[in-house]
């Protein structure tokens, strides 16, 4: 996609973080916006801001883990604007962290439900309709951006459910790329793999459904993982606004992989080398011995 003016974009997780910045960037480019979030007050705030910028927008409260709600979002988007050109499958949660085996079934259901199933529901609800638009209009161009993470490319300890969900999103996105190459010249996709960026994801428990909430207290390893993730996120020097600009640049250039911190790819290279050499996985925290020491202390009690 080269021209965004007058085109329609759908953004999930639009109430904060990357989603809000995607909406702001789209509005600045003259796009019409369909904004979705599970937190109504945050969503309303984004919509007010976007409308104040002069952009046309509609909002829907959506739990992306529920396929019927994502289908309804697609119905609303196509009904209002006739076509959707840009889809951001962006909604995500941080997961519980801690040692892999300490995560409850509810923890895993919540994290995978939003981070993985939310993306899959978005692909299933929107991509067939986008391809139909492409068949009807030779000038149509569409693009899908799935938000994954650097945690979808490396496996740091005590981030089990999050790592699993984001690796799955990377795999889903790479497969989607190949499938789209077979199906159409007019629809493409990208996968966004940010490192730690201040987005509010460390506070995603605020929107966790009651039926997936665990009544018990956090384990020691979960407490330590939570504190370290919050510190890493808050200390990042890259903003969500910068990530949004990087993402729109990648869409223009039809680049698939979008990295917020290219210097962190050394960990990915190390992992790929281990795979090819059939070596045991290298320590992803080798350059951060103080972090490893703290996690090891928590793991061993």
Q: Supply the residues annotated as catalytic.
A: 162
Burial category of 35 from C-beta neighbours within 10 Å (exposed 0-12, middle 13-18, buried 19 and up): buried
Largest CA distance in the chain: 62
Q: How far apart are CA 58 and CA 129, in angstroms?
A: 19
Tell me which residue has tokens 């795999």.
171
Q: How far apart are CA 262 and CA 255, in angstroms?
A: 14
Cβ neighbours of 40 (radius 10 Å):
11
Which tokens sit at 133?
């638009």
- Residue length, the chain? 301
SS3 for 9-78 is EEEECCCCHHHHHHHHHHHHCCCEEEEEECCHHHHHHHHHHHHHCCCCEEEEECCCCCHHHHHHHHHHHH
Q: How far apart are CA 220 and CA 204, in angstroms?
A: 20
SS3 for 163-204 is HHHHHHHHHHHHHHHHHHHHHCCCEEEEEEECCCCCCCHHHH
Q: Let me know: does 191 contact 256? Beta carbons within 8 Å.
A: yes
- Mapping DSSP to helix (H, G, I), strand (E, B) and coil, where does residue 82 land? coil
Give the residue from 171, 192, 199, 194 showing the smallest Cα distance to 251.
192
């Amino acid at each position: 996609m080269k021209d965004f003016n007058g085109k329609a974009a759908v953004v999930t997780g639009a109430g904060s973080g990357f989603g809000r910045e995607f909406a702001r960037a789209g509005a600045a480019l003259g796009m019409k916006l369909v904004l979705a979030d599970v937190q109504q007050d945050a969503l309303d705030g984004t919509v007010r801001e976007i409308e104040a910028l002069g952009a046309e927008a509609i909002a829907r409260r959506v739990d992306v883990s529920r396929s019927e709600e994502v289908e309804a979002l697609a119905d609303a988007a196509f009904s209002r604007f006739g076509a959707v050109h840009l889809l951001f499958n962006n909604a995500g949660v941080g997961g519980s962290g801690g040692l892999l085996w300490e995560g409850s079934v509810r923890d895993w259901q919540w994290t995978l439900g939003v981070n993985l199933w939310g993306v899959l529901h978005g692909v299933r609800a929107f991509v067939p309709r986008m391809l139909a638009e492409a068949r009807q209009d030779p000038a149509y161009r569409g693009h899908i951006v799935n938000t994954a993470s650097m945690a979808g490319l490396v496996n740091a300890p005590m981030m089990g459910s999050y790592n699993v969900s984001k690796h799955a999103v990377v795999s889903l996105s790479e497969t989607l790329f190949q499938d789209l190459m077979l199906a159409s010249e007019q629809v493409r996709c990208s996968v966004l793999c940010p490192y730690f960026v201040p987005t509010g994801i460390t506070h995603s428990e605020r929107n966790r459904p009651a039926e997936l909430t665990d009544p018990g207290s956090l384990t020691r390893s979960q407490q330590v993982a939570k504190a370290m993730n919050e510190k890493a996120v808050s200390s990042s020097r890259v903003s969500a606004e910068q990530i949004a600009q990087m993402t729109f640049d990648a869409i223009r250039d039809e680049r698939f992989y979008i990295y917020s911190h290219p210097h962190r790819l050394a960990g990915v290279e190390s992992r790929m080398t281990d795979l090819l050499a059939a070596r045991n996985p290298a320590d992803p925290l080798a350059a951060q011995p103080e972090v490893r020491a703290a996690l090891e202390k928590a793991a061993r009690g």
